[in-house]
């Protein structure tokens, strides 16, 4: 299938300049227009503030683009019936003039394939509630388990079974780290009942761990969990009350699979009177910013080790 690298991405790669990959499922399925376009442009600006180049990945008219331009992002943000493109959908998008947003799994795969070492996103997918019956587990976890990349997120989406998600990541060999915290964040909530064994406190520490992973030849991701700002969070106990209510409502509708998450997030926006959206927008920008800092640190550490 045809894959295009944006001119700014090609230039940065040839110069050995640090880059940060960004996903676009948040543009096509996570946020409404025009907030979706404003947010991805804001994330790119946060990356550029540190002198790092953003490489936003998506699918336009059957073509994978590594480094969408602002005009291309506008087209994707307004696309009618865009596809949600995970790894399993990648082989088929070239059959038609499909446009779509890449999930964490697809973005992770494509970023690593084209030499990018850092991805910034909002929250990863994981093990869904009731997975013991449904076997509904996000492909994000499988791909993170076999892709040596550094991913910055604010934990797993709080609508998931976080305990089982952490167990599954351990099984996959994913190195799960709290950034400045020993508590696993739950997307809208900066804390959860789940403690982490590993904590890092600076981009340089993250870079050293990422390079050690590479030197060992390990093929799994380093997941950096950056909590949402406490001023904008929805505290855990309040959040899980809302989620339990919404989960009960959705079960009566018969909605399943990939459609569950968008429905839950949409209803959460309503019951929190917009607070979930404010938290979401903030953490996306902060994670992009941290991703840029880590990309710079990895570049600097490589130069030190080679110097």
Could you give the residue numbers annotated as active site?
A: 23, 157
CA angle 247, 279, 246 (to 5 degrees): 10
| Residue 125 to residue 147: CA distance in whole angstroms | 15
| Residue 44 to residue 194: CA distance in whole angstroms | 31
Helix then strand then coil, % of the chain, to nearest 5? 50, 20, 30
| Residue 174 to residue 135: CA distance in whole angstroms | 20
- Whether 126 contacts 162, CB under 8 Å: yes
* Residue 225: alpha-carbon gap to chain centroid: 11
List the one residue out of 254, 132, 147 whose CA is nearest residue 210: 147
| Residue 307 to residue 261: CA distance in whole angstroms | 47
Tokens of 275: 């607070």
Question: Element (H or E) spanning 137, and its range?
Answer: none
Distances in whole angstroms, Cα of residue 201 to Cα of each of 43, 206, 241, 259, 298: 22, 8, 31, 36, 15
Burial of 74 (0-12, 13-18, 19+ CB in 10 A): middle
């Amino acid at each position: 299938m045809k894959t295009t690298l944006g001119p700014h991405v090609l230039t940065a790669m040839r110069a050995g300049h640090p880059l940060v990959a960004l996903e676009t499922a948040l543009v096509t399925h996570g946020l409404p227009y025009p907030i979706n376009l404003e947010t991805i442009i804001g994330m790119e600006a946060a990356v550029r503030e540190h002198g790092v180049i953003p490489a936003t990945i998506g699918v336009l008219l059957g073509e994978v683009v590594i480094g969408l331009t602002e005009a291309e992002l506008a087209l994707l943000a307004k696309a009618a019936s865009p596809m949600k493109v995970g790894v399993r959908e990648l082989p088929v998008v070239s059959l038609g003039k499909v446009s779509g947003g890449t999930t964490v799994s697809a973005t992770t795969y494509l970023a690593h394939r084209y030499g990018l070492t850092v991805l910034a996103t909002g929250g990863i997918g994981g093990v869904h509630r009731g997975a013991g019956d449904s076997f509904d587990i996000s492909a994000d976890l499988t791909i993170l388990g076999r892709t040596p990349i550094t991913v910055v997120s604010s934990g797993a989406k709080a609508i998931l079974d976080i305990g089982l998600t952490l167990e599954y990541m351990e099984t996959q060999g994913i190195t799960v780290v709290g950034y400045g915290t020993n508590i696993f964040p739950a997307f809208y909530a900066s804390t959860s009942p789940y403690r982490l064994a590993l904590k890092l406190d600076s981009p340089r520490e993250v870079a050293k761990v990422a390079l050690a992973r590479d030197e060992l030849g390990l093929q799994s991701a380093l997941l950096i969990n950056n909590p949402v700002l406490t001023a904008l969070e929805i505290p855990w106990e309040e959040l899980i009350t809302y989620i339990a209510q919404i989960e009960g409502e959705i079960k009566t509708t018969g909605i399943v699979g990939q459609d569950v998450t968008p429905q839950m997030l949409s209803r959460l926006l309503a019951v929190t009177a917009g607070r979930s959206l404010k938290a979401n927008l903030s953490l996306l920008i902060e994670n992009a910013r941290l991703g840029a800092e880590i990309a710079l640190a990895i570049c600097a550490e490589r130069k030190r080790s080679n110097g």
